[in-house]
Structure 1
Amino acid sequence: MRADFRQVVIASVVLLFSGALAFGQYPQAVTPGPNSVPVAVEGPSQGTTAPTPSEPAGTVATEPVPPANPYAGDLFSRARLTGDWWGARSALANRGLTFDLFATQFYQGVTAGGNERAWEYGGKLDYLFNVDGQKLGLWKGLFLNMHAETRYGTDLNGIDGLIAPSNIAMNFPDATTSITSITGLKLTQALSENFAVYAGKINTLDEYPLRYSPGLGTNKPGLEGFQNTSLVFNPIVARTIPYAAAGAGFAVLKDLEPVFTFTVFDPEERATSGLQNLYDRGVVLVPDLVLRTKFLDRPGAYNFGGTYSTAKYRSFDPAAYLNIPFLRSLVARNPATPLETGSWSVYANFYQSIWVDELDEKRNWGLFGQFGISDGNPNPVRFVANGGIGGRSMIPGRKLDTFGVGYYYLGLSDNFKALARPFTPQRDEHGVELFYNYAITPWCRLTYDFQVATPSTINVNTTITTGLRLQILF
């Protein structure tokens, strides 16, 4: 039956895209925005803040602000270090082809607690390639997005003692080695201004809809805001959602932004592998609703959804977004632990602006929260409750800076605690993170990050980590 279901899923995807090609033209090409979920398209103008005529004189002199074309301007005002490549880059963008390279370096240390006190250096290279089919001369509504990553060096995730890694970016594509891999390759076809279908290898962190500083820089979670996994991504879905997953689905759009999406994922982690043996283990169904509001004339986003997987798991099985303590020991000591069929979770996330720049709505800061509950077996996380403040700086002359302060509480399940109790007792994990992201230029940002956490492993003392992150947008 599973093989038959897999064939139905694959056939449905083929039919969806065949229908898209046969559907023909519609009045206007859909261009999803920067905060989109699975139909998100990264374009050359995203992550920029163009000066407006009403901005006070001297803004560029006190803090360079990139123009609408991120490749234009001098070395200290453009949004990308390498500029326009003598006009070639903007010419390619006008033909629907864009390429970005982001280099992010981390130097962090465990200064107290944890499994080990040490300072580590490592980094990421993120390569983003995007195709707009209409501009390329193919047909309207066609988009192709690729995300490749290089991870190198070392990080704190193996020594901080946390079940939710303190540096989510360095956990992928493979936390154990230096590696380059394609973690996202997604094809999207908009059938109208209000409906689109998509399929491919989907980077689920890229698609996470909640942003605390919208419209700035890379727009990639973990690279310019919070770093702790619990404050970047809702860990309630960690049991069922891979980091890079094969998937297909549809999106309902409003004002060219996704309002509702439904995705059928393969449960297998594919960050460093291809798309072979699709849906052999079952399927993960993910409905997701995003409501964008204007409460008291201030933008907000409210996100509700859930996951249901038909695959088989144990609570101590590997999970892409978690570091299960002493995983090998758990497996060795509990070989007879039965596999549970199916796993579910529900979540609610929100961001509500409190302060908004009158001249630039994207420049705002506000409150955010992430909440969730799961089955507790096989999900090792029973509930999640996170919150804080974050967004763009209000400091005069520092329009591109961002900041955040957040608290997270990760309630581990009784089943997971019982399995771990004989040799590595577990408790709920909670902590605080703060960061300030200083824009040296529009293409170069330096972040200070500080975290204090009570690790899930009882015999590990309170962990304090601190460090710097330097990001350059090429």
Structure 2
Amino acid sequence: MDGSWIKSTCCAQALLGSILLIAPDAARAQSGPVETPPTWGGEVWSRPRLTGDWSGVRDHLGKKGVVLDVDAQMMPQGVVSGGKDTGMNFWGNAAYTLNLDSQKMGLWPGGFVKVQGLSSFGDSIFADIGAVVPANETWVFPEVNEPSSALMSATFTQFLSPKFGMFGGKINTLDLAFTRFTGDYRSQFLNLGMNIPMAEALVPISAFGGGAVFMPSESLNFSALVVDPSGTPTDNDVTDAFSDGIMGIAAGKLNIKPFGRDGQQRLTGLWSNKERVSLIQDPSNIGQFLLTERFPLLGNPGPILRRLAERFAPALLNPVQPLNREDSTWGVAYGFDQYFWQPDNDPKRGIGLFFNFGATDGDANPVKYSFNLGIGGNGIVPGRPDDNFGIGWARTEFSDNFVPALRQTLDLGLDHEDAVEMYYNAAITPWANLTLDLQVINPGLNRALDSNDNLTDVGTAVVVGLRSYMRF
């Protein structure tokens, strides 16, 4: 069987990229073709990876369909004014990734495997900012705001034709959120609200699942995915998957080129039949709700809100009535990106606009709707073809049903949260990037507990950061 069509298209990237509405050229999406250079060696400042070709071993493995990478990020960030408190801390992570190509291994065409583990380390400034949406996406995995290690993904993809493929395994949904200008926390925005529609707060970060994609043309593709709605990065027991329902995701993506400039239109829908605790509760249920429900993409705000209730509104934690529940949840999202300037014959460079919007039922999801918009650019500085930049604004609007009694009693706010972020990412070498990042965040919480458990006002936070990304 001739599998040359696999090499001549980017259909594997398009396969899993389209699931969460990403660009088909997202190099770190789930299992698919991995580009290998003629050699991993060369001069230290020009080679693709810092450690080179391992005396020829890495080149040999690459030609046989085996690619092993170790990547590291180091991110000092600080609150220089506002927030709940000022201060600076250091956070980082390391990812170890194995990609296999069945055809290059001499087996069969169209098969790809990706396995990735990740470790996080250090201390974050999440508590100092006082925001609900994490200002650094890497704070939410593998564990929320805790140094930890986990298997983030282990996927197998099989193409049955140039237009149809199937995939399954443990899927890292955050790595599926890449678009041209957002979604890549390694080289683009850091704030989670800038990288994904926060209306997708109930989508598990890492979960067992599978799906398929159909690509009737180069410009159009459709996909469908089903995942375990309760999956977590640290849960590797496949026998537990789908024990409490499913989460289904369906998506469509259209590549367009108005006036000769690249753009995308994206639409997705989410639905789950997992029974969840409803946001609509008797006030006496607040305590149990805050202990029961976890929202990793929102930094799991339950324990923080419970501490506030215990300290200042204990009456809201009195005898608990049976919890109201929702037997299904849904969400929709739309997005686009569009270059408005591109140099001739160079599709990798240019300046463009992006916009992403998501909405939910607001009955089990604390987020009613969210959006982000801004400008992004690639390779616009003369002599710096691999640099990129972005300026954007993200808003997260919380559901009116999200702990209303506690919000009103303590004047907590929790109506919405805004973040403005700008960054410049400089490619120092092919294996090292350095990013300057500035964020101005108007936190969703107006008030929070300080280190002495006293209620303090939370002001607009100015957050500065530096991100280094190295590939070994």
Q: TM-score, normalised by structure 2?
A: 0.84
Distance 1:417 1:245 in 2: 28
Equivalent residue runs for 1:131-142 within 5 Å: 131-142=100-111
What is the match of residue 421 of structure 2?
433
Counterpart AA for 1:28: W
Q: Say yes or no: does 1:192 pair with 2:161.
A: yes
Superposed displacement of residue 364, structure 1: 2.5
Q: CA deviation at 1:355?
A: 2.0
CA displacement at 1:253 relative to structure 2: 2.7
What residue in structure 1 maps to residue 435 of structure 2? 447
SS in structure 2 of the partner of residue 414 of structure 1:
coil
Distance 2:112 2:249 in 1: 22
- Which residue number in structure 1 is paired with residue 469 of structure 2? 471
Task: Return closer, same or farther for 1:34/1:197 CA change in 2, 3 Å cut-off.
Answer: closer
Over 3 Å counting, the alpha-carbon distance change for 1:208 and 1:141 in structure 2 is: same
- The 5-angstrom pairing of residues 11-50 of structure 1 reads 28-29=5-6, 31-32=10-11, 34=13, 36-37=17-18, 40-41=30-31, 43-45=33-35
Q: 1:150 to 1:258 in 2, by over 3 A?
A: farther
- In the alignment, the residues of structure 2 paired with residue 258 and residue 152 of structure 1 have an alpha-carbon distance, to the nearest angstrom, of 40
Runs of 4+ with >6 A deviation: 24-27, 255-258
Are the equivalent residues in 1 in contact too, given 2:32–2:112 (CA < 8 A)? no
| Secondary structure in 2 matching 1:180 | strand
- Write the distance in 2 (CA, Å) between the matches of 1:318 and 1:257: 38
Q: What amino acid maps onto 1:465 in structure 2?
A: V
> 3-state DSSP class of the match of 2:404?
helix
CA shift, 1:419, in A, is 4.6
Shift of 1:28: 3.0
Return the alpha-carbon distance in structure 2 between the equivalents of residues 260 and 431 of structure 1: 32
| SS class of match (1:361) | coil
Q: Are 1:303 and 2:266 matched, yes or no?
A: yes
- Equivalent residue for 1:120? 89
- d(CA) in 2 for partners of 1:347 and 1:243? 17
State how far apart, in whole Å, the 2-side matches of 1:401 and 1:431 are.
23
What amino acid sits opposite 2:465 in the alignment?
G
- The one-letter amino acid of 1:88's match is V
Report the 3-state secondary structure (helix = DSSP H, G, I; strand = E; otherwise coil) of the residue aligned with 2:328.
strand
Q: How far did 1:349 drift? A: 1.4
Which ranges in structure 1 are unaligned for 5 or more consecutive residues? 1-23, 47-67, 214-219
Q: In structure 2, what is the Cα distance between the partners aligned to 1:357 and 1:41? A: 32
Counterpart in the other structure of 1:16: none
- CA displacement at 1:134 relative to structure 2: 1.1
Change (3 A) 1:41 1:201: closer
How many angstroms does 1:90 deviate by? 2.1
* Aligned-pair CA distance for 1:358: 2.5
Kindly indicate whether the alpha-carbon contact (under 8 Å) linking 2:208 and 2:227 is maintained by their aligned counterparts in 1: yes
How far apart, CA to CA, are the structure 1 residues paired with 2:109 and 2:218? 14
The correspondence for 2:129, drawn from 137, 160, 163, is: 160
- CA distances 1:118-172 after superposition (whole Å, capped 9, x unpaired): 1010101011211111111121111111121110001122332111100002321
CA pair 134-419 structure 1, distance change in 2 beyond 3 A:
farther
Q: Which amino acid aligns with 1:143?
A: F
Relative to 1, partners in 2 of residues 1:41 and 1:69: Cα closer, same or farther, differing over 3 Å?
farther
Could you say what the CA RMSD is over the residues aligned between the two structures, in angstroms? 2.3
CA distance in 1 between counterparts of 2:258 and 2:417 reads 33
Looking at structure 2, the residues matched to 238 and 72 of structure 1 have their Cα atoms a distance apart, in angstroms, of 42
Structure 2: gaps spanning 5 or more residues: 20-28, 280-289, 311-315, 448-457
Cα distance, 1:268 vs structure 2: 0.9
In structure 2, what is the Cα distance between the partners aligned to 1:70 and 1:410?
45
Percent of pairs with identical residues: 30
- Cα drift, residue 70 of structure 1: 6.7
Structure with the largest fraction of helix: 2
**Per-residue deviation, residues 351-384 of structure 1 (Å, max 9, x unmatched):** 1112223342112221111101110111111111
Q: Tell me the secondary structure at the aligned position of residue 175 of structure 2.
A: coil
Per-residue CA distance 1:10-54 (angstroms, 9 max, x = gap): xxxxxxxxxxxxxx77673365365634574465427xxxxxxxx
* CA distance, structure 1, for counterparts of residue 115 and residue 413 of structure 2: 42
Q: Which residue of 1 aligns with 2:22?
A: none
| Contact in 1 for aligned 2:75/2:468 (Cα 8 Å) | yes
> Which residue number corresponds to residue 246 of structure 1?
208
Closer/same/farther in 2, CA of residues 260 and 70 from structure 1, 3 Å limit = farther
- Mapping for residues 146-295 of structure 1, pairs under 5 Å: 146-212=115-181, 221-239=184-202, 241-253=203-215, 259-274=221-236, 275-295=238-258
Aligned to 1:390: 376
Q: Find the aligned partners of 1:352 and 1:449 in 2 and give their Cα distance.
A: 23
Alpha carbons of structure 1 residues 295 and 256: separation in structure 2 relative to 1, 3 Å: closer
Question: For structure 1, which segment, 413-422 or 264-273, has the greater mean C-alpha deviation from structure 2 after superposition?
Answer: 413-422
